[in-house]
């Protein structure tokens, strides 16, 4: 089958938000880029958007943090029963959202629906129910892209919506193609629901090498107070507990070298300040140099509220000497791919998806298993001081990224999904 065999379609992406740099938003935009390159047109509906206004429908109630939605969601987890009033309110919000989805489909003449994670993780139960009912009623072709499932998050274990989870997270309906981002999710989806799925991992445009440094970023190290001969150890993630940032702190402590500077690029997540406080205590105990630079990182270049330069995350990577990725859990691992793309050595915790889907492919990494051991520290010192080894690892890893996680991988598999839904030559 050739990609050209599928005639242009009008593709509607729906989620709670398409904004910023969260994983769902990033991957959805990559899919849209690929589909547009295949001749299709892409449209967007969400409660928070930074997509083009002329191809987007803004629906505030679709945002998971909308006050009316949040008021319902907080009563659904950690308890085993819900009141009739909550059931009624769920249904009321669901009906409002159904109307909006129908309007979106009609406004842009949508031919293919691409729900992004809203039929997987119950962050917005009424939206998942609304999406499921619209699919059942219209029988439009659907490619449901699932990033995280309810069973993968401890906070959803106890709940009062078992009926809804069975019905819509995810649903099994005619004309639906299900896509997951790792093999563990693929197996669990089949075991729990009997739903077959296609694996399309997270991707990066490895066919297009990263651009060289330019004048704008030449002063980055100086701007954050790091010398050219310092070791910049980059932690390119949000500050949330599952990222295991305490291990990055421990690595820097054990390097015992004043050149070692830990740079944390993102702000705290939605888990409150307790984890940040823990990290600050660890930093004080370790007596190491750590830079939190979230106020200097944005989606685009510019200035912050203090008039200081703002850089993109992709501006930062080229300045790193090593990347730490000590996460306990990841649905896939965008930061891992980014480090490979920018040809940086990586210290990675062997989280389950890495161990099952990435490590067997042959990537050269410094691997840790829940602990910063003497061997991990030794390898980190070696890679920081051995230019030939760094270059060898970088070349090997980039070749593997191009082979397994490039846009061409998603392009082939998306073309196959469309062929199944419409028939070749449609």
- Model confidence pLDDT, tens digit, residues 5-56: 679 999 999 999 999 888 899 999 999 999 999 999 999 999 999 999 999 9
Domain identity same for 322 and 375: yes
* Token duo for residue 359: 């490590």
Tell me whether the omega of the peptide bond preceding residue 45 falls within 30 degrees of 0, making it cis.
no
Enter the pTM of the model: 0.91
- The reply to whether 67 falls in a domain is yes
Residue 65's CB: how many other CB atoms inside 10 A? 14
Give pLDDT tens digits for 288-320: 999 999 999 998 999 998 999 999 999 999 999
Domain identity same for 341 and 380: yes
CATH code, domain with 37: 3.40.50.2000
Phi, psi of 407 (to 5 degrees): -60, -30
Domain identity same for 269 and 360: yes
Q: How confident is the model at residue 1 (pLDDT cuts 50, 70, 90)?
A: very low
Tell me, what DSSP letter sits at residue 335? Answer: H
Domain identity same for 15 and 64: yes
Domain total in the chain: 2
3-class DSSP string for 355-395: HHHHHHHCCCCEEECCCCCHHHHHHHHHHHHCHHHHHHHHH
Domain identity same for 36 and 23: yes
- The reply to whether 275 falls in a domain is yes
Domain identity same for 394 and 416: no
Domain identity same for 19 and 87: yes
Domain identity same for 198 and 279: no
- Cβ distance 6 to 426 under 8 Å? yes
Domain identity same for 97 and 129: yes
Give pLDDT tens digits for 254-299: 999 999 999 999 887 655 588 999 999 999 999 999 999 999 999 8
Domain span at 154: 3-203+407-422
- The reply to whether 154 falls in a domain is yes
* Token duo for residue 61: 């109630």
Domain identity same for 388 and 413: no
């Amino acid at each position: 089958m050739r990609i050209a065999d599928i005639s242009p379609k009008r593709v509607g992406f729906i989620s709670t938000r398409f904004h910023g740099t969260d994983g769902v938003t990033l991957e959805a935009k990559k899919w849209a880029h690929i589909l547009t390159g295949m001749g299709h047109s892409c449209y967007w509906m969400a409660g928070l958007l930074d997509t083009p206004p002329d191809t987007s429908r803004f629906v505030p109630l679709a945002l998971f943090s909308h006050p009316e939605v949040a008021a319902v969601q907080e009563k659904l987890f950690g308890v085993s029963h819900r009141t009739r009033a909550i059931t009624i309110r769920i249904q009321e919000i669901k009906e409002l959202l159904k109307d909006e989805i129908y309007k979106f489909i009609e406004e842009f003449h949508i031919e293919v629906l691409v729900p992004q994670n809203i039929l997987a993780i119950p962050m917005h139960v009424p939206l998942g129910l609304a999406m499921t009912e619209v699919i059942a009623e219209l029988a439009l072709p659907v490619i449901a892209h699932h990033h995280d499932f309810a069973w993968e998050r401890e906070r959803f274990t106890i709940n009062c919506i078992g009926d809804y989870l069975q019905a819509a997270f995810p649903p099994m309906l005619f004309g639906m193609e299900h896509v997951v981002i790792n093999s563990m999710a693929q197996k669990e989806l089949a075991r729990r629901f009997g739903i077959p799925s296609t694996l399309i991992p997270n991707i990066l445009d490895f066919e297009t090498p990263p651009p060289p440094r330019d004048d704008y970023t030449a002063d980055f190290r100086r701007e954050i107070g790091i010398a050219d001969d310092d070791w910049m150890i980059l932690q390119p993630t949000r500050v949330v507990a599952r990222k295991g940032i305490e291990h990055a702190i421990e690595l820097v402590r054990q390097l015992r070298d004043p050149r070692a500077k830990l740079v944390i690029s993102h702000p705290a997540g939605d888990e409150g300040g307790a984890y940040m406080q823990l990290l600050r205590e660890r930093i004080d105990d370790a007596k190491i140099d750590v830079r939190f630079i979230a106020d200097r990182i944005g989606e685009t270049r510019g200035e912050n509220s203090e008039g200081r330069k703002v850089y993109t995350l992709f501006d930062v990577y080229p300045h790193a000497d090593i990347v730490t990725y000590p996460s306990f859990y990841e649905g896939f691992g965008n930061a891992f791919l980014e480090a490979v793309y920018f040809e940086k050595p990586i210290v990675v915790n062997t989280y389950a998806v890495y161990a099952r889907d990435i490590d067997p492919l042959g990537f050269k990494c410094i691997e840790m298993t829940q602990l910063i051991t003497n061997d991990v520290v030794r390898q980190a010192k070696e890679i920081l001081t051995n230019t030939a080894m760094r270059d060898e690892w970088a070349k090997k890893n980039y070749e593997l990224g191009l082979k397994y996680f490039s846009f061409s991988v998603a392009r082939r598999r998306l073309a196959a999904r469309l062929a199944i839904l419409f028939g070749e030559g449609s």
